[in-house]
Amino acid sequence: MDSIAGLRHDLAPDAGFDGGDLDCGNGLLLLIRKHIDPLPRGGLLEIRSTEISVDEDLPAWCRMTGNEFLSLRRQGRRRSFLICKGALSERRAEPPPAVPAEPAPLPPRVARPVPPVPPLAVMGMGSWPRPRWMVEAMHAHVEGRLSEAAFQQTADDAVRLAVGAQERAGADVVTDGEQRRDSYASFVATRLENCQLIPLTDLLPLVDHPEEFEAELRALDIPAGDVRHPAVFGPLRRTRPIVAHEVDFARALTDRPVKVALPGPYLLTRTMWMECISDRAYASREDLAADIVRVLREELAELVEAGAALIQFDEPVLSDVVFSGAKNKRSFMCGALSETLAPEHELGFARDLLNAVFDGFDRDRIALHVCRGNWTPDESVALSGSYAPLIDTLAQVRAGAYLLEAATPRAGDMGILSALPQDARIGVGVVNQKLQTAEAVDEIAARIQRAIGLFGRERVLLHPDCGFATFADNPICCGDLAADKIAAIAKAAARFT
C-alpha cells in the first residue's frame, strides 16, 4: 500500500492495511496476524490506525510475540506503524525463492471395498503421539519456513510410523494418528479459505480477565504462544479436502478399516465465532454455522467416497455446556472461547447442527465422540459429570455409533448409555489415556464384560476414553505407552471372540 506523505517510514513496507479505529482488544491484533503471517521472516508490515491506545499496545504486543517494532508516524489523528516479522536483521536483500504451494496431487482414487468394522473392534480415538521432528516440521510449516510439499512428505513418514504402531498393537481399525494436525480441531483453519490460525497470545486482549486466562493456561500446561486458534476473516470456502487426503494415504498403507475424526459443527462454530472479527463476514454465529454445516457435508461426501470405514465427529465442548457451571463463561476447554446462551439452547443448537451434517448419509459410517477435555493428564482439572445431562441430546443425534468415555470415574457409570438408540453401536472407553501406565488386562476385560451385558456384543466397540495426543505440542502420553494401551485392549477383547 502507498504511504501518505507525512506518514512515510524510512523503510518501505512489504504489506499493509488500515485498521481504522479498532484497538488491540477489539480485533486489530487479529487483522495484524492475518497480514503478517504470510510475510517471510524480516518482512515489513504497515498498520494504519486512528486509535490512540495502539501507540502503547502495539509495541507491547511486538515485545510479547518476538516481532520488532520499527517506527511510528503521526499526522493529526492518523497514525502509521511499521513492524517487522521477527527481527529486522533477518530481512533478506531480495525476496526468498518461490517454493511450491502444494505437493504433487495424489493419483486418482481406486475404488476398493470398505472393510467392515466388526463387533468388539479395537481402535484408537484418533490422535497418536507425534515424533519430535514432526512437531518441529509443523511449526516450520505454519510459520512459512517449510513448504507445503516438504511438510506433507514429512507427515507421510510420521503416518507410516503411527499406522504401523497401531497394527502391531492389534488395533482392528486404524487412524493416521492425526499427524498432519496441530490439534484435533484448529487445523481446519489451515484447510479452509478465509480462515487462519492465530496464536492464543493474540486473543488475550479479547477475554475479560487476560491475567486469569494466562494463569489458567499455565496451570493446564498450555503455552499461549504455541497453541493456535482459528479465526474467520471472510466467508468460508472449501477448495480442497479437510481430511479426505489423510484417508487416501492411510488406506494405501493398510488393509484394515480406516477411521478418521473431524471436529463437529457445534465445536467449530464455538471455536471460530468471535464477534470482534467474525461479524465482518457473518451477521451472526448462526450464519457462520450454516456455512460450517455446508463445508462439513461436502467433506463427509468425499470421505465416504474415499472409503473411510468410520467418520467420527468430535463434540467435546458439549461437556463444557453442562459441566462448566458458569453461564457466559469464556473457557479454554477445547479451545471454545465464545460466549454461550443457556445450556438447553446450546444443546438444541448442537443437535440440529449435527443432524444437518448427517442428513442423507449412511448412519453406519458416522460416529459421534463426546468427552470431558483432554489437554492434560491431570484428572483433577478436567470436567467431571455423568452423561445424564447429555443423554437426551445424544439420543436425538442421528449417528450410527457413539464413542464415549467410560474408564475414567469422571464419566460416571456407563449404565446411563443404555438410553441411547438401540440400533446404534456403543463405543466404550476401556482405558484411560491420562493414566501413565497401561491398565491390567483383567481390569479392561471386566469393563468389556459389563458393556456386553448392557448393550449386547454386536453393538460394542472398544477404545481409549480419548486420543493420545489431542494437541501436537502437549501429548497425553508417549508413543510406547499408547501402543501398550491398545495392545492391552486387544488382549482383553480376545477373551470374548
152 inside domain:
yes
Question: Do the domain assignments include residue 383?
Answer: yes
Residue 423, domain member (yes or no): yes
The answer to the question of residue 2 being in a domain is no
Check whether residue 265 and residue 386 sit in a common domain.
yes
CATH number at residue 63: 3.30.110.40
- Asked if residue 427 and residue 323 are part of one domain, the reply reads yes
Residue with cell 448442537: 350
The pLDDT assigned to 205 comes to: 64
Segments of the chain with pLDDT less than 70:
1-6, 25-26, 93-107, 201, 203-227, 275-279, 325-340
Same domain, 79 and 177: no
283 and 356 co-located in one domain: yes
- Which residue, of 89, 124, 148, is where some domain finishes? 89
Which of 72, 89, 106 corresponds to the end of one domain? 89
- Separation CA 152–CA 431 (nearest Å): 32
Q: Is residue 5 part of a domain?
A: no
Torsion over CA: 312, 313, 314, 315 (sign): negative
CB atoms within 10 A of CB 403: 30
Q: Summarize the chain as % helix, strand, coil (round to 5).
A: 40, 15, 40
CB 263 within 8 A of CB 314: yes
pLDDT of residue 306: 95
Q: Looking at the structure, do residues 370 and 277 belong to the same domain, yes or no?
A: yes
Q: Give the model confidence (pLDDT) of 293-326 as tens digits.
A: 999 999 999 999 999 999 999 999 899 888 876 4
> Could you give the C-alpha distances from 54 to 24, 46, 51, 72, 85, in angstroms and in order?
7, 13, 6, 10, 18
Residues 218 and 352 placed together within one structural domain of the fold: yes
pTM of the predicted protein model: 0.84
Pair (51, 147) in one structural domain: no
> Does residue 98 lie in a domain region?
no
List, as one string, the DSSP characters of 285-340. Answer: HHHHHHHHHHHHHHHHHHHHHHT-SEEEEE-THHHHHHHS--TT----GGG--S--
Shared domain for 300 and 201, answered yes or no, is yes
Residue 62 belongs to what domain range? 15-89
Assess if residue 4 is contained within a domain: no
From 65, 89, 113, the end of a domain falls on 89
Tell me, yes or no, whether 69 and 172 share the same domain. Answer: no
Rounded Cα distance, 448 and 276, in Å: 48
Classify residue 124: in a domain, yes or no: no
Residues 177 and 50 in one domain: no
- The per-residue pLDDT for 36 is 87
| Shared domain check, 167 and 78 | no
Crossing angle, helix 479-493 and helix 441-455, to 10 degrees?
50
| Residue length of the chain | 497
**Max Cα-Cα span within the chain:** 80
Q: Which H or E run contains 54?
A: helix 54-65
What is the tally of structural domains in the chain? Answer: 2
